[in-house]
Amino acid sequence: MFEYAPAPESRALVTFQSSYGHFIGGKFTKPSNTYQTISPSTEQVLAEISTASAKDVDLAVKAARSAYEKVWSKLSGAERGKYLYRIARIIQERARELAIAETINNGKPIKETRDADIPLVAAWFFYYAGWADKLDYAGFGVNPKAHGVAAQVIPWNFPLMMLAWKIAPALAAGNTVVLKPAETTPLTALLFAEICQQAGLPDGVVNIITGFGQTGADLIAHKDVNKVAFTGSTGVGRLIAKQIAGTNKKVTLELGGKAANIVFDDAPLDQAVEGIINGIFFNQGHVCCAGSRLLVQESIQDELLKKLKRRMETLKLGDPLDKNTDIGAINSKAQLDKITKMVKIGVKEGGEAWAPNCEIPSKGFWYAPTVITGVAATNTVAREEIFGPVLSVLTFRTPAEAVAKANNTPFGLSAGIWSEKGSRILKVADQLNAGVIWANTFNQFDPASPFGGFKESGYGREGGRHGLLAYLKGDN
């Protein structure tokens, strides 16, 4: 009947070079010690990427230091703002190209990169461009000073968006940066390096080095780094915290999560279903603030799950470049294996896994959207982050029980509340231990709104006025 014909976005807008060096001091170095980056939806090799050695890291930090001392720290806020506005505009102009590139290298659907990732990237630069000449009014005293060189290590789930979250406030506050993208998703960061050139950003203000965990560790350990910003797993976050203990480096960590999405019996059910879907299947669930634990009031469990499963039947999994695709590819084989293993454990511990019938492409890494019902608070899938399209369903009877179960996790990044009763939303939100709480919605991001976690979800805030604090002296 009414089957959607394939509607793939053309790849012609994007040209990747066959190999990339690092972007240091405004120039690309000669590619060296390379590895291959692939498209997770086709396993096709996209480019050869260099692995930065400790020496490369040193060069990058030196370039950032030199740019800081000689150029960037001497510019007025208004001048810095001009560069940021210019970058923001170029991102908008090249939005389509960046969306396609991100989709190819990350595996997420074009619908998301086009409508969420790239617009937010531009918004982040516009927002912080506006702050650059107004730091006196940010509430940290008159003429607050930058830290100097910021070392930034970002994950693969929102490659360019995480870059924007890190670089935009750092530059607005007057720092220079060395950024390392995740090893599986370096390409949009390297395109961003081209954008810095296009914008005429002074050499060395932004440096981008690629590589694996060791490169990140070398960068964070570098003695001339003043500020460390990391987004990624709690495990690596712990290592970083240990590594910089006893140094003068400032640090912000944005780590894992196991968010509760709480649905009360008076919730707007059809919209709650949409919120649950958006909460856990957006970006294949590769979202640190994903609503991975559904806490549903026992009295509406059957009705809600029925609606949820029916809605899941309509999700389209497949070619991420197709405009009709809802669920793209898992970013890497390693992540796919982890998700597969976690679901197996979930079932072994008594959960019941269900996924709609969807065809899995033969090439690439894929995982069907899955819901595990009958999960108890003691189960692994209720406690550990899966970081995939897998929803664990728990029930509660009273608001107090919902709050207790929601807070019963080492994490504290985000939470969702669904109820038509405003007073209940306010009371429950007040009791939840999470950095971001959404009411009757989920996964909404805005550069003006601070984002960050409690407990093992990290510390420091990104976004908003609070996000500037991390990049200015006199904060902590």
Q: Give the residue numbers annotated as catalytic, written as ranges.
A: 254, 288
Instruction: Provide, rounded to whole angstroms, the least separation between the CB of residue 280 and other proteins.
Output: 16
Q: What is the DSSP letter of 247?
A: S
Instruction: Provide, rounded to whole angstroms, the least separation between the CB of residue 70 and other proteins.
Output: 47
Instruction: Provide, rounded to whole angstroms, the least separation between the CB of residue 42 and other proteins.
Output: 20
Determine if 269 is a binding residue for other proteins (CB under 8 A): yes
Determine if 35 is a binding residue for other proteins (CB under 8 A): no
Determine if 150 is a binding residue for other proteins (CB under 8 A): no
Task: Please state the separation of Cα 166 from the chain's center in Å.
Answer: 11
**From 2-10, 15-23, 27-35, 340-348, span contacting other proteins (CB under 8 A):** 2-10
Determine if 422 is a binding residue for other proteins (CB under 8 A): no
**From 58-66, 81-89, 262-270, 358-366, span contacting other proteins (CB under 8 A):** 262-270
Print the binding letters for residues 286-315 with other proteins: x by CB under 8 A, - otherwise.
--------------------x-------x-
Walk across the sheet containing 45-50 and list its strands.
Answer: 19-20, 45-50, 34-38
Determine if 78 is a binding residue for other proteins (CB under 8 A): no
Contacting other proteins (CB under 8 A), which of 270, 302, 359, 446? 270
Helix/strand/coil for 145:
coil
Determine if 449 is a binding residue for other proteins (CB under 8 A): no
Q: Which of residues 316-335 bind other proteins (CB under 8 A)?
A: 323-324
Nearer to other proteins, 115 or 224 (CB): 115
What string of H, E and C letters represents the secondary structure of 287-336?
CCCCCCEEEEEHHHHHHHHHHHHHHHHCCCECCCCECCCCECCCCCHHHH
- Of 129, 174, 133, 132, the C-alpha closest to 472 is 174
Contacting other proteins (CB under 8 A), which of 3, 12, 242, 423? 3
Instruction: Provide, rounded to whole angstroms, the least separation between the CB of residue 10 and other proteins.
Output: 13
- For 192, the token pair is 């961003």
- For 471, the token pair is 């990049």
Nearer to other proteins, 37 or 278 (CB): 278
Residues in the chain, how many? 476
Contacting other proteins (CB under 8 A), which of 267, 342, 393, 437? 267
Instruction: Provide, rounded to whole angstroms, the least separation between the CB of residue 428 and other proteins.
Output: 17
Query: Which secondary-structure segment (H or E) carries 253?
Result: strand 250-254
Determine if 266 is a binding residue for other proteins (CB under 8 A): yes
Q: Helices 95-106 and 77-93 sit at what angle, rounded to 10 degrees?
A: 70
Nearer to other proteins, 268 or 356 (CB): 268
Tokens 């096709």 — which residue? 44
Query: Which secondary-structure segment (H or E) carries 262?
Result: strand 260-263
Q: Which of residues 353-382 bind other proteins (CB under 8 A)?
A: none
Instruction: Provide, rounded to whole angstroms, the least separation between the CB of residue 310 and other proteins.
Output: 8
**From 89-97, 271-279, 352-360, 375-383, span contacting other proteins (CB under 8 A):** 271-279
Contacting other proteins (CB under 8 A), which of 138, 441, 473, 475? 441
- Of 192, 140, 168, the C-alpha closest to 28 is 192
Q: How many residues bind other proteins (CB under 8 A)?
A: 24
Q: 306 to each of 265, 273, 278, 309, 388, how far by Cα in Å?
A: 15, 10, 17, 5, 22
Give the whole-angstrom CA distance, residue 176 versus residue 134.
Answer: 18
Query: Which secondary-structure segment (H or E) carries 105?
Result: helix 95-106
Q: What phi, psi does 284 have (nearest 5°)?
A: 55, 25
Nearer to other proteins, 322 or 385 (CB): 322
Instruction: Provide, rounded to whole angstroms, the least separation between the CB of residue 261 and other proteins.
Output: 13
β-bridge partners, 180 = 153
- Of 128, 196, 211, the C-alpha closest to 165 is 128
With beta carbons less than 8 A apart as the criterion, state whether 155 and 232 touch.
yes
Print the binding letters for residues 181-220 with other proteins: x by CB under 8 A, - otherwise.
----------------------------------------
Strand pairing category for 206-208 and 176-180: parallel
Instruction: Provide, rounded to whole angstroms, the least separation between the CB of residue 307 and other proteins.
Output: 9
Q: Which of residues 90-119 bind other proteins (CB under 8 A)?
A: 111, 115
Contacts of 164 (CB under 8 A, 6+ apart): 120, 121, 124, 125
Determine if 146 is a binding residue for other proteins (CB under 8 A): no
Instruction: Provide, rounded to whole angstroms, the least separation between the CB of residue 71 and other proteins.
Output: 43
Determine if 423 is a binding residue for other proteins (CB under 8 A): no
Nearer to other proteins, 2 or 423 (CB): 2
Give the whole-angstrom CA distance, residue 329 versus residue 65.
Answer: 39
Determine if 7 is a binding residue for other proteins (CB under 8 A): yes
With beta carbons less than 8 A apart as the criterion, state whether 373 and 332 touch.
no
Interface residue list for other proteins (CB under 8 A) = 1-5, 7, 111, 115, 266-272, 274-275, 306, 314, 323-324, 420, 440-441
